[in-house]
Amino acid sequence: MPQDDAVIGCTGLILIGTRGSVGPGEVLVRVRGGSETFLAWSEDPLPEGATVLVIESRGCREVGVIEWVDPLDALGNSAEAG
């Protein structure tokens, strides 16, 4: 199956936790003006509810993800605290 390059760089929310190299979870990714689900693979286990960044497309509705914290969120919190 061809890669889906549109998802690379998108953020998502883990719906079913990943198990690292043992097995995938499921992620809801904001892409193409909506949201789509994909099987999510990660090096380390990620819990349900974690925010992730899609770093690769594995084709056939499978993606590689890493845990993600939006750096702009930190700026917003600093402005509110000051």
Domain of residue 75 covers: 5-81
Report the CATH number that the domain containing residue 76 is assigned in CATH: 2.40.50.140
pLDDT in tens, 64-82: 999 999 888 777 765 555 5
pLDDT in tens, 32-55: 999 999 999 999 999 999 999 999
CA pair distance 63, 41, nearest whole angstrom:
6
How many domains does the chain contain in total?
Answer: 1
To the nearest whole number, what is the mean pLDDT of the chain?
90
How high is the pLDDT of residue 55? 97
User: What is the pTM for the complete model shown?
Assistant: 0.84
How high is the pLDDT of residue 56? 96
